Structure 1
């Protein structure tokens, strides 16, 4: 994957996460995809969205 393709995919996933309500299956899927792409943990991604784990219903 080129750097440009990586950045485009990463940015699209962030945009998708910001548009979805936390805890929905679609949100969880996008979160999992972003975690796999970036290697970031769930808590770090949630923090990037301005959420704390307690605000995400499916926090594990």
Structure 2
């Protein structure tokens, strides 16, 4: 689980997770990995998050 209070910080954390995945040969599935957004602001309504080149869907 990765949690953040901002979209930029969240993407930075996902980039770190992706880096560890590449280092330890772990692949993240965009079909199995989902986002749950709590208290989203209007300026974040069109935000897109990715792990590597895979866009994450919202649950």
Structure having greater relative contact order (Cα 8 Å, sep ≥ 6): 2
TM-score range, shorter chain: 0.3 to 0.5
State TM-score, norm by structure 2.
0.39
Q: Which has the higher helix share?
A: 1
State TM-score, norm by structure 1.
0.38
Q: Which has the higher strand share?
A: 2
